[in-house]
Structure 1
Amino acid sequence: MTRSKRIKLGIIGLGVMGENHVRIASTLPGVQIIGAADTNHSRLEEVSKKYGLTCVSNYQELLPRVDALIIASPTSTHFEIATNCLQAKKHLLVEKPFTASSKLAEELINLAKENQVKLFVNFIERFNPSFHKLLQVIKGERIHGLTLSRLSPYPERIIDTNVIFDMMIHDLDLLSQITGDKIITIKAKGKKVKSSQLDQVEVVITHESGLITKIEASRIFGVKSRKISILTERCLWEADLLHKRLYRRDFTSVHPSTIPVQPKDQLTEVHAQFIKAINGKPCNLPEGQDAAWALNLAERIMSQCT
């Protein structure tokens, strides 16, 4: 049996998510973090000291030394950075929403093919254990109704995009995993409240089968909530993605029954899948084409809100 090689990894962007990547990668066997990059010098010093990591202000210094990179910088920088990394023939894991548009996403997909490297996107909610269990229990059942909601208070972190690309994009990706039912019509409305971009959006999607999907995203809500409700022929399933719980309502009791969910760390699973892919093994990470689909749907929704 051929042994998997040790992956030399670089991380670009040291915000909250970037540091999470550093934290997880530093604990995994089969991975050596060569360094991390950020333009914020105070963050470089902080992360370098905390993890004993080589940190640089120019990510291109990492390219000759690594096999793969994780891009966790602001969305507006993803396309340029990813282009340079792919041209250097480096495998990539890019934070959602991947790029600023589906057109740019397609360009990166083609570039990855040309350079024969792996290109994945971190839609981390696919690895939420309650969502994974939800897909298992609804398998083979006809879906009669579907609702996805993602609500949060206004964030302190820097926002460089609207709530569709910042938050709802997760649920658009999850929608693709729940049903492949063709989308016929989209109706959406949104509003700007605390920023110059859309902070709250509601969407109603009609599918070819007659299924109606409702999606809501808000970053001006009082409390954080991440939920999916699916009405099937047998019952109503409710997945609480935030607390990683799954409930079943069969209409015989006012109280839902709780379905056991196996706990796991989602980001650790993402990294494990990325390592498998680099070593030439099958993995179930979202690929660039998956992100392009979600981005195209996000653009269609945004066009309804303007």
Structure 2
Amino acid sequence: MIKGRGIKVGLIGLGSMGKNHARIAAGLPGLNLVGIADIDPAAEAFAKELGVPFFNDYKDLLPLTEAIIVTTPTETHLATATDCLNAGKHILLEKPFTGASARARQLAALAKEKGLILAAGFIERFNPAFVRLLKEIKGEKIIGVDIKRLSPCPERIADTDVIFDMMIHDLDLIQLIIRDEIAELNAKGEKIRTKMFDRVIANLAFKTGPIARIEASRVFGSKTRKIAVTTEKYLVEADLLNKTIYLRDFTSPTPSTTPVKPADQLTEEQKNFIAAIKNKEEPAVNSDQAVKILALAEEVKNAC
């Protein structure tokens, strides 16, 4: 383990996302990864690679920590996070947070009662291409937004649909792009490879006029993560995978490329969490925002 001064953080859950978090946390300045917990004994080998103490029961890890990163399966999030909050720990809870807005409200209320940071892990907030996109459209009148998040069918599909697995990121981002109330929403979903929705298209109309189309699919031939924003003056496209911004005004058929400052978004997410704890301020995605995102995801699902 890389030792040093910093917030003492533990990690619960060593799935693929948990391993990514652990690798970054083990070397991040201002963060001291003091332990990892997972119910699978085989996960201990990974913890040993990082030189970090391993626990089969996360409750044995809690006394060593000031904060916890929770990356367990979604169905365990409420119980695990509740235990952490009751133990007085700040939490970074991976998406889709609790998986339901009612449970999220319950958890948010407990965090406020305890005076603790409860951050939601919506990593695309920290994507440098998205950060640049927001700068490019600031002050512009937005006409419409088209978002595509497409992937091939994964080898292992979690027990959730594509709305809560993938689209939920874009239901978060659209509320930052168009800061307005939704006047109308309709959606269509298809069950293609599983018993749950594998492809969903949601159409949103906002009160002041802008419209948005959001498509998510986990049965597409290739991986795509793109946001296109049409304003009165130009079209801006953010390629979230390749971290590139394209600008096209309506007088030229050739787009220009805008530089994007490189950044690792998971690193930025952890840094934001640690800064929120140290400065006693709200994280980039707080629990109230998580409730709002989940409520919108539920609305999309109900409309399918």
Would the TM-score normalized by the shorter structure come out above 0.5?
yes
How big is the shift at 1:99? 0.8
Residue 167 of structure 1 corresponds to 166
Residue 208 of structure 1 corresponds to 207
Decide whether the 8 Å contact of 1:225 with 1:242 is kept in 2.
yes
Residue 206 of structure 1 aligns to a residue in which SS? Answer: strand
Q: String of CA shifts for 1:33-67, please: whole Å, max 9, x gaps.
A: 1111111222x233123212211111111111100
Counterparts of 1:30 and 1:100, CA distance in 2: 30
Decide whether the 8 Å contact of 2:37 with 2:58 is kept in 1.
yes
Decide whether the 8 Å contact of 1:122 with 1:285 is kept in 2.
no
Q: String of CA shifts for 1:243-268, please: whole Å, max 9, x gaps.
A: 11000111333221001111111111
Mapping of residues 51-90 of structure 1, within 5 Å = 51-90=50-89
Q: String of CA shifts for 1:211-244, please: whole Å, max 9, x gaps.
A: 1110000000000000101000110000000111
Counterparts of 2:165 and 2:39, CA distance in 1: 22
Residue 195 of structure 1 corresponds to 194
Decide whether the 8 Å contact of 2:126 with 2:265 is kept in 1.
yes
Residue 182 of structure 2 corresponds to 183
Residue 287 of structure 1 corresponds to 286
Residue 14 of structure 2 corresponds to 14
Residue 304 of structure 1 corresponds to 303
Residue 144 of structure 1 aligns to a residue in which SS? Answer: strand
Q: String of CA shifts for 1:178-218, please: whole Å, max 9, x gaps.
A: 11211011110101111121110001111111211100000
- The one-letter code matched in structure 1 to 2:111 is A
Decide whether the 8 Å contact of 2:119 with 2:283 is kept in 1.
no
Counterparts of 1:244 and 1:283, CA distance in 2: 27
Q: Does 1:247 align with 2:252?
A: no
How big is the shift at 1:91? 0.1
Unaligned runs of 5+ in 2: none
How big is the shift at 1:280? 2.1
Decide whether the 8 Å contact of 1:93 with 1:121 is kept in 2.
yes
How big is the shift at 1:158? 4.2
Size of the aligned set, in residue pairs, is 301
Counterparts of 1:271 and 1:157, CA distance in 2: 26
- The one-letter code matched in structure 2 to 1:100 is G
Distance 1:173 1:145, change over 3 A: same
How big is the shift at 1:283? 5.8
Q: Does 1:46 align with 2:45?
A: yes
TM value normalised by structure 1: 0.95
Residue 23 of structure 1 corresponds to 23
RMSD: 1.4
How big is the shift at 1:157? 3.4
Residue 263 of structure 1 corresponds to 262
Decide whether the 8 Å contact of 2:95 with 2:121 is kept in 1.
yes
Residue 35 of structure 1 corresponds to 35
Mapping of residues 132-147 of structure 1, within 5 Å = 132-147=131-146
Decide whether the 8 Å contact of 1:70 with 1:92 is kept in 2.
yes
Residue 173 of structure 1 aligns to a residue in which SS? Answer: helix
Residue 218 of structure 1 corresponds to 217
Counterparts of 2:83 and 2:54, CA distance in 1: 19
- The one-letter code matched in structure 1 to 2:28 is L
Counterparts of 1:137 and 1:21, CA distance in 2: 30
Residue 261 of structure 1 aligns to a residue in which SS? Answer: coil
Residue 151 of structure 2 corresponds to 152
Residue 131 of structure 1 corresponds to 130
Residue 275 of structure 2 corresponds to 276
Decide whether the 8 Å contact of 1:150 with 1:227 is kept in 2.
yes
Counterparts of 2:266 and 2:69, CA distance in 1: 12
Decide whether the 8 Å contact of 2:94 with 2:122 is kept in 1.
yes
How big is the shift at 1:30? 2.1
Q: String of CA shifts for 1:256-285, please: whole Å, max 9, x gaps.
A: 100111111111111111111111254652
Counterparts of 1:165 and 1:123, CA distance in 2: 12
Unaligned runs of 5+ in 1: none
Q: Percent identity among equivalent residues?
A: 50
Decide whether the 8 Å contact of 2:190 with 2:200 is kept in 1.
yes
